[in-house]
Structure 1
Amino acid sequence: MRRRSALGLGAAGAAALVTGCVPLQPLGDPPERPERKQVSADGRPLREGGHLVMALSSEPDRLDPTTSSSLYTRFVMQTMCEKLYDISADGEIVPMLATELPTISEDGLTVEIPLKDGVLFADGAEFDAEAVRLTLERHLTLEGSTRASELGPISAVEAIEPLRVRVKFESPFAPFTAALADRAGMIMSPQALDELGEDFGNHPVGVGAFKFVRRVPQTAIEVEADPLYYDADNVHLDRITYRIMTDANIRAANIQSGDVHVADSISPQDFEALQAVDGVGTLQVESLGYQGLTVNVGHAPEGQEPPSTPLATDERVRQALSHAVDRNALVNTVFNGWYTAAGSPISPSSPYTSPESRHLPAYDPDAAKALLEEAGVEIPYPVRVTVSNTQDGLRYAQALQAQAKEAGFAIHVAPMEYTAVLDAQSRGDFEVVLLGWSGRVDPHGNAYSFWTTGGGNNYPGVSDPEVDRLLEDATQVTDIGERAEVYGEAVARMQEVNAFIYLYRVRSLTAHRDDVAGVAVYADGVVHLSHAAFLDGDRS
């Protein structure tokens, strides 16, 4: 009911419009922030059993690997729906339910994947090549799938042996293995798919250290250790509860008091203070993802006409909006130097980076005003920005609002609950959304489905033949340097179209109690709890 209420307010324009002023701080060199990705037991004995509570900063969407689009769903699914591949602490792709990296034919059109033996789903069904085939075909064919464009031009999926899958492509597709290290590689129980169909997300069944128990909407999701898990000897906890705590102050307070054991997305405003608290530890890692403005250029709710405003139809107006943002000054002001400015979907730490993908569009309010005048629009030009109603999101939106005034924009900030923002974005019921993407190892996962015509995450409704061609070309190139060049060309065009205006990259900031070990967070932003444990002699 809360989701519908928030959406109704947004659609009717009755949500509170935030106004405010956040003074910009002077720029300086950002402090060094050494990464700490996992909690080691450091030789201390582990205690078997216990109930761990994690404070989750937002409500996950549907627990269905085929249709999910929320980072927070990946947190929960990490414990109960393993993938064919995973990423390591070093950001490398490693086998998970597969036994080794895929074998690829010389022409790049055939891929074979060997699978682990003796693995069972949580419902007792056997994990085999047929289960993989059914999952991949569901990703490709289910209406509303957000995985289809991630998997590429597949022509056939075959279970050629009980533990070997063959995938055939119409043309070579370099990002395929990386896609299988994310939701596209989460394998679902064929028995559960047969029984539940599209209702799978209400009672998901996969292979994992834990299995689904219950969900109380807006409150909590609970999982328990799965005795059928193939590596059950290395699972220490009895149960995990993901408690939804959208308020950053409340998450920080609950970690400090010990009422929760792990908390994600700690605000930079709280992180340094928590580092000094006795009994609390922290993890931090650079993200592969980005935060930015999604501009609606051609997406409308069913039965309605696409937007026809100057912002939607004139590149000059969107270019002006990009010039209205001093990316470095805003992250310095709002996030105390913990986050970094961004101008593209490709992280500077990626092997596919290039000068073009690292380029930050200039902050130039005079050029922005000149573009608005050239476009013949009213000044100040009004823009409604929908934002998740978190403290950090609202602080950034308010700072952006204040800064953009100088460039000729009147930004109205419309806060919504996170899941309501996702719904509005998916339906096309927005002008501009301030939201982000947690990031993938391969740039394909950060760009293709968002930018290509008809892509599963193409929320702006953008269709640009040049971007389509370049992103398609990048999927067929295997040389890292060549792919980086192609992505650089694509970014140059993206910064002209500005259907997405990239703003900054977060650092994943996680807090934990000192009596917990085995917690990890990697560059994809997901907190790993499958092998977490309490330390012997300490309170759970």
Structure 2
Amino acid sequence: MTVRRSFLLASALSLGLGAPLFAQGTINVAIVGEPDTLDPMLSTKDVVSIVTQHMVETLYTFDSKWNVAPLLAAEMPTVSDDGKVYDIPLRTGITFQDGSAMDSADVVASLNRWLKLATRGKGVADKVEKIEATAPDAVRITLKSPYAPLLSLLAFSNSAAAIYPEENQADVLEKVIGTGPYELAERVPDQYLQFVRFDKYVPREEPTDGAAGKRGQVPDEIRFIPTPDPNTRVEGLLAGQYDFADSLPSESFDRVAGSDKAEPVMIESFGWPVFALNHKQGLLTDRKIRQALQMALPIDDMLFAAFGDDKFFKVDGPMYPEGWPWRVENGVENYNVNDQAKAGELLKEAGYDGTPLRILTSRQYEFHYKMAEVAKMALEMAGFKVQLDVVDWATLGERRNDPALWDIYISHSPFLPEPALTDMYFKTSRIGWSEPEKDKIADAFLAEPDPAKRLELFGQLQAANFDDVGFIKIGNFNAVLGKAKTLKGVDPTPWPYFWNASKE
């Protein structure tokens, strides 16, 4: 597609002029908003992961069953008997999008940058003794103590341990240079990001299996179109403007299902909405006030308001749903108490002085906002004064980095294959939840290699979260996405990828 054609497409979309004619081989994807960065090390936002996984790669990734699989690594690492040394062989013949060849020096520099700057990297940094090149095509990670989730962290596209050229390692990158199957050709803020095939990309030879195996470079172009309003995403999908639309309102399910152009995609037990609490400063540094907050929330009403029909959600306290190996029941007696009177008594005991409880949320994920509205009413019944700060998603992402600006921010997470990928359990996370006994449990959980013992420790960690109110899981929800009936080769996943997508 020419630049002129690109401009006309963006103009038509922004002006709402109906479905333009698309070049064959272009996949048009409506996302929830403009990514605030194209450096996935610096963000835990899903919208950043969705876009950037097409242009940058990590040493490892996940297959369709959430097993860790090699990507830029040649194979799985050799791990020492004491669990402290990981020897990682690298693929050869890999080229960056600036034309340079990838080698171990690039990997070492990138992983050190990840430890310094990335939320998840900083969480493990104090456990890393050193990262070194042992050959041009091999690196070694030496830990101070065993760290069981290391490979899952290295595989995650969110706060990703992305591999960049050694020469491109500034704290803030002027340009993101990766090894992925697509590269950025053009970006018009708030209109589109145009990705085209990287002609020197070398895919893996194994069959495609989730994000693992061959990444096929099937589309000529992938175009991500920021579409903050969820109803606009629905209408664009139904009109044929979009081949794929992320995060649709649950009430649109039946309408999309009745379309002759599109169909809904529902991912069951997709994830969990969360009230992330500020432990660094402000009201919620007081444990009794946190407990009052947890006690006052009407979970059933919040989920009904958010999703409208219980086929889209489940009132469920454990951190993992039925059928997951991490499912434990510890502490769930403190879930969904829904007692505003008792919460009010706790507020009085805490000496609450009427300082506004600031809830930071966005309407780009409409279910976040609907939960906030219901929570506000219940919390005010308990005696809180509540201030809803409603902003766009990019602004929320900026403000949550400053603990002076919020007491709660509302987000959500897919259910992840490794609990340690949820960084809020750990004192290094953005929310800053640190309590001595909990921290001991968390450290033991990270160091323990035995799966049965790790499950027992995770149960203790879940109980600590309910007791100390580290953060609040609201429930389970099913995600509703939408795709054109002609679109093939897109797996239903929390972070959809389109390198194998095609249109009939």
Q: TM-score, normalised by structure 1?
A: 0.80
2:248 maps to which residue?
Answer: 266
Task: Give distance in 2, aligned partners of 1:230 and 1:465.
Answer: 48
CA distance in 1, matches of 2:92, 2:165: 17
Offset of 1:227 from its aligned partner? 0.8
Q: CA deviation at 1:361?
A: 4.3
For 1:357 and 1:99, the matched residues in 2 are separated by 42
| 1:158 and 2:129 are equivalent in the alignment | no
1:66 is displaced (CA, Å) by 2.4
| SS of aligned partner of 1:468 | helix
What root-mean-square deviation, in Å, do the aligned CA atoms of Structure 1 and Structure 2 show? 2.5
Match of 1:181 in 2: 155
Using CA pairs under 8 Å that are at least 6 residues apart, name the structure with larger relative contact order, 1 or 2: 1
Please state whether the residue corresponding to 2:36 is helix, strand or coil.
coil
AA aligned to 1:493 is A
- The answer to whether structure 1 residue 275 and structure 2 residue 257 are counterparts is yes
The residue type paired with residue 470 of structure 1 is I
Q: Write the distance in 1 (CA, Å) between the matches of 2:142 and 2:160.
A: 16
1:319 shift after superposition: 0.8
Which 10-residue stretch deviates more, 435-444 or 102-111? 435-444
What's the CA shift string for 1:426-476, capped at 9, x where partnerless?
A: 011112222233453210111xx32433x1x323x3321112111111011
Q: Is the CA contact (8 Å cut-off) linking 2:256 and 2:262 kept in structure 1?
A: yes
Q: Following superposition of structure 1 onto structure 2, how do residues 384-463 of structure 1 map, counting pairs within 5 Å?
A: 384-390=358-364, 391-428=366-403, 429-446=405-422, 449-453=423-427, 455=428, 457-459=429-431, 461-463=432-434
* Cα distance change of structure 1 residues 286 and 205 upon mapping to structure 2, 3 Å threshold: farther
* Separation in structure 1 between the aligned mates of residue 88 and residue 31 of structure 2, nearest angstrom: 34
Mark the CA change 1:529 to 1:452 in structure 2 (over 3 Å): closer, same or farther: same
Indicate how the Cα distance of structure 1 residues 192 and 54 shifts in structure 2: closer, same or farther if over 3 A, else same. farther
Q: Is the 8 A contact 2:121 2:161 kept in 1?
A: no
Provide the rounded CA distance (Å) in 2 between the counterparts of 1:375 and 1:81. Answer: 49
Which of these residues, 310, 321, 330, is aligned with residue 302 of structure 2? 330
**What's the counterpart of residue 31 of structure 2?**
56
The aligned counterpart of 1:530 is 499
Asked whether the equivalents of residues 296 and 430 of structure 1 are also in contact (C-alpha less than 8 Å), the reply is yes
1:507-518 aligned within 5 A: 507-518=478-489
1:74-124 deviation per Cα after TM superposition (whole angstroms, max 9, x unaligned) = 001111112222222222222222233222111011111222232222222
Q: Does 1:90 align with 2:90?
A: no
Partner of 1:303: none
| 1:343–1:501 Cα contact (<8 Å) kept | no
Residues 109, 166 of structure 2: 8 Å contact kept: no
- Aligned twin of 1:237: 219
CA-CA distance at 1:477 after TM superposition: 0.9
Letter in 2 for 1:126: A
Per-residue displacement from partner, 1:511-537 (whole Å, max 9, x unpaired)? Answer: 111111111232xx10111111122xx
In the alignment, the residues of structure 2 paired with residue 84 and residue 408 of structure 1 have an alpha-carbon distance, to the nearest angstrom, of: 50
What residue ranges of structure 1 are gaps of 5+ in the alignment? 1-47, 299-305, 536-540
The question of whether the paired residues in 1 share the 8 Å contact of 2:53 and 2:497 is answered with yes
Q: How many residues align?
A: 466
What's the CA shift for 1:50? 1.6
Match of 2:123 in 1: 149
Aligned mates of 1:127, 1:121 — CA distance in 2: 7
Contact 1:352 1:483 in 2 (8 A): no
Cα distance in 2 for partners of 1:223, 1:534 equals 17
**Does the CA-based 8 Å contact 2:272-2:413 persist in structure 1?**
yes
1:370 aligned residue: 345
| Distance in 2 between residues matched to 1:418 and 1:342, nearest whole Å | 26
Identify if the C-alpha distance between structure 1 residues 489 and 414 changes in structure 2 by more than 3 Å, giving closer, same or farther.
same
Take 1:492 and 1:355, find their aligned partners in 2: how far apart are those partners? 8
Shift of 1:387: 0.8
CA spacing shift, 1:347–1:188, aligned 2, 3 Å: same
Name the CA shift for 1:491/1:518 in 2 (closer, same or farther; >3 Å): same
Task: Note closer, same or farther for the CA distance 1:344–1:427 as it changes in structure 2 (3 Å cut).
Answer: farther
Contact 2:426-2:433 at 8 Å conserved across structures: yes
Specify the alignment match of 2:56 in structure 1: 81
Say whether the 8 Å CA contact 1:235–1:530 is kept in structure 2: yes
**Aligned partner of 2:260: which letter?**
D
Equivalent residue for 2:178, pick from 170, 182, 206: 206
**Does structure 2 retain, via aligned residues, the 8 Å contact 1:52–1:239?**
yes
Structure 2 counterpart of 1:317, from 289, 292, 307: 289
1:295 is matched with which residue?
Answer: 277
The one-letter amino acid of 2:171's match is: E
**Deviation of the 1:285 alpha carbon:** 2.0
**SS of residue in 2 equivalent to 1:472:** helix
CA distance in 2, matches of 1:245, 1:494: 35
Q: Matches of 2:130 and 2:96 in 1, distance apart?
A: 24
C-alpha change, 1:402 and 1:434, in structure 2 (3 Å) is: same
Secondary structure, aligned partner of 1:414: strand
- Candidates 465, 471, 476, aligned match of 2:436: 465
State the one-letter code of the partner of 2:71.
M
SS for the counterpart of 1:80 is: coil
1:355 alignment counterpart? 329
The letter for the 2-side match of 1:395 is K
SS in 2 for 1:509: strand
Give the superposition deviation at 1:219. 2.8
Offset, 1:186: 4.3
Structure 2 stretches lacking a partner, 5+ long? 1-22, 204-213
* Greater Cα shift, 244-253 or 130-139: 130-139
Once the two structures are superposed, residues 200-247 of structure 1 have per-residue CA deviations (whole angstroms, 9 ceiling, x without a partner) of: 2x5211111101223333332221111111139932211111110011
With over 3 angstroms needed to count, the CA separation of the structure-2 counterparts of 1:532 and 1:187, relative to structure 1, is: same
Aligned residue number for residue 38 of structure 1: none
Q: Report the alpha carbon displacement of residue 500 of structure 1 after superposing the two structures with TM.
A: 1.6
Q: CA deviation at 1:392?
A: 2.4
Distance change in 2, residues 1:116/1:340 (3 Å): farther
Answer whether contact 1:84 1:185 (CA < 8 A) is retained.
no
Per-residue deviation, 1:268:
0.6
Task: Report the equivalent of 1:284.
Answer: 266
Identify the range of structure 1 (424-433 vs 360-369) with the bigger mean alpha-carbon deviation: 360-369
Superposed displacement of residue 388, structure 1: 0.8
Q: Secondary structure at the match of 2:475?
A: strand
Q: For the Cα contact (< 8 Å) 1:289–1:347, is it kept in 2? A: no
Q: SS at 2:42's partner residue?
A: coil
SS of equivalent residue, structure 2 residue 168: helix
Task: Describe the superposition over 1:354-384 as per-residue Cα deviations: whole angstroms up to 9, x where unpaired.
Answer: 11276634222232122223323358x8422
The Cα offsets for residues 383-430 of structure 1, whole Å up to 9 and x where unpaired, read as 221211233222221122233344333433221111111111101111
AA aligned opposite 2:476: R
**8 Å contact kept, 2:215–2:499:** no
Deviation of the 1:346 alpha carbon:
4.6
In structure 2, C-alpha distance between the alignment counterparts of 1:498 and 1:105, rounded to whole Å: 37
Aligned partner of 1:252 in structure 2 is 234
